[in-house]
Amino acid sequence: MLQTVARYAMICTGTCYDFGASIVLRQIHFPLAAMLRFFVLLLLVSLTHLAVAATRPNLILILADDLGFGDVSYQGAPDIQTPNLDRLATQGITFSSMRANCTVCSPTRAALLTGRYADRVGVPGVIRTSPENSWGHLAAGVPTLADRLGHSGYHTAIVGKWHLGLQTPNTPNERGFDFFHGFLGDMMDDYYTHLRGGINFMRKNQQTIEPRGHATELFTQWSIDYLRKRSESADQPFFLYLAYNAPHFPIQPPADWLDRTRQRFPDLDDKRAHNVAFVEHLDHNLGTLLEQLDALGLSQNTVVAFTSDNGGSLPHGQRNLPWRDGKQSHYDGGLRVPFIIRLTDAKRAGTTCDYAGLTFDLNATFLELAGAKPDAETDAVSLMPILRGAAMPDAPRELYFVRREGNNRYVGSAYHAVIRGKWKLLRNDPFTPYELYDLSSDPQETENVVAKHPDVVNQLKRSLQAHIQQGGRVAWQPPMEQTAADD
């Protein structure tokens, strides 16, 4: 049909006169011919848009906060049961070797939304409410995933945690999202008051709101509200970025969920019991959302990706087994995360892939799924070959990690890690010596072999220097005039 319409459009817009019918048009009085051309062109544009929209999937990206690799039952959690995530894994592709872009929140989110390493977009560390303890400022002019999808015709929404700026020009509506229903801040001090340092960062677009209820349940309901609305506009695909705050501390499950956990595990220590209940409550909410996606008839045309922004926090009773350490650490416990992509059909359902990529590969993947314009400067790699059932390119890929932080341990400096092939060079604060691990023989990172392989260390250090120089071109504090305006 499109070919037929295109043929008429070529005739009527005068771009081609090879068809016999054009002779008739030439004889029509000019205004009538012009009107005809306009309406047929309009029809062509509308039909093309409909056809493209029908073939482009809706995109949902669900990001948990601090969910550890070992705290989901499909990856072997001994106590937590996550039946809904487990089902999503059986319906989709489970990625077993993906890492977060950073071991803490904001940089991973900046990388995810821009497709570039976090220090190349001004966010090497966490953005916080107090300027003297804030270590990032999302660079102006870098298109986000929402910008790019929006430009290609998607409706775009974020529900939940933003954490990439507390004020203009870096609020979600200013960085590409048509709709925002969530909170701007870095975390909540309480899942029911939603306040951070006594400040309410909850917003619906630009409007401050005071919703009642547990944040996980609110974000689920707001996402369902959004899906319901979008289901009435089937001609336009949507992108929903649902960033849950859970299970980031404070570990605060609803009381009835904690009671049930205690009944199930009467001997479990209190900290762990809170975590079990908290993650299971999150999983239950995820299940509610996916049920609604089915009920609205959207599942067959919606790709769903799920991951976490960094590893679990060990002092808060979270687990990243079998990996070493946790959140804030460049050992794999801080970086390895649950990672699932469910496609619109069952071709790859239940498969597992050990490709070692980073969170922001979802950026490149979603752009390709949407047929949107890719970012020429991206550092991300599209996972589309895997989604098609093919192998990823053999091209060597280096993975780079950076985190800048305040307090006495870090003093505002950055620390880094790099993975190339089987080698991983890292340190966990800016002042201790680098360590080297052979991930192929020692995936748990137990034996530091830095003294045994000086050539490897030197190569990786040179590579890190190049990464650090590249990141150094972008400011990670607000410009002077903005800082002055804030005072």
List contacts with Ca ion (CB under 5 A).
65-66, 105, 309-310
Find the shortest distance in angstroms from Cβ 111 to Ca ion.
13
Collect all residues with Cβ–Cβ distance below 8 Å to 323 and sequence separation of at least 6.
Answer: 69, 70, 311, 331, 332, 333, 335, 336, 443, 444, 445
Say if strands 179-183 and 155-161 run parallel, antiparallel, or are unpaired.
parallel
Find the shortest distance in angstroms from Cβ 172 to Ca ion.
18
Find the shortest distance in angstroms from Cβ 65 to Ca ion.
4
Exposed / middle / buried, residue 4 (Cβ in 10 Å: 0-12, 13-18, 19+): exposed
Of residues 5 and 64, the one with the C-beta less far from Ca ion: 64
Of residues 102 and 258, the one with the C-beta less far from Ca ion: 102
Q: Which long-range contacts (CB under 8 A, 24 or more apart) does 443-446 make?
A: 443/323, 443/332, 444/322, 444/323, 444/324, 444/332, 445/323, 445/324, 445/331, 445/332, 446/324
Find the shortest distance in angstroms from Cβ 224 to Ca ion.
24
Of residues 66 and 71, the one with the C-beta less far from Ca ion: 66
Distances from the Cα of 115 to the Cα of 9, 94, 366, 477, angstroms: 38, 21, 11, 20
Q: Name the residue whose CB lies closest to Ca ion.
A: 105
Find the shortest distance in angstroms from Cβ 194 to Ca ion.
17
Angle between helices 255-264 and 270-295 (to 10 degrees): 120
Find the shortest distance in angstroms from Cβ 311 to Ca ion.
9
- How far is 97 from 466, CA to CA, in rounded Å? 25
Find the shortest distance in angstroms from Cβ 49 to Ca ion.
38
Smallest CA-to-CA distance from 437 within 451, 449, 455 is with 449
Of residues 109 and 120, the one with the C-beta less far from Ca ion: 109
CA atoms within 13 A on the CB side of 78: 8
Of residues 335 and 372, the one with the C-beta less far from Ca ion: 335
Of residues 170 and 307, the one with the C-beta less far from Ca ion: 307
Of residues 65 and 405, the one with the C-beta less far from Ca ion: 65
- How far is 37 from 9, CA to CA, in rounded Å? 7
- How far is 237 from 354, CA to CA, in rounded Å? 30
Of residues 332 and 435, the one with the C-beta less far from Ca ion: 332
Find the shortest distance in angstroms from Cβ 408 to Ca ion.
22
Of residues 66 and 375, the one with the C-beta less far from Ca ion: 66
- How far is 449 from 459, CA to CA, in rounded Å? 15
Find the shortest distance in angstroms from Cβ 140 to Ca ion.
24
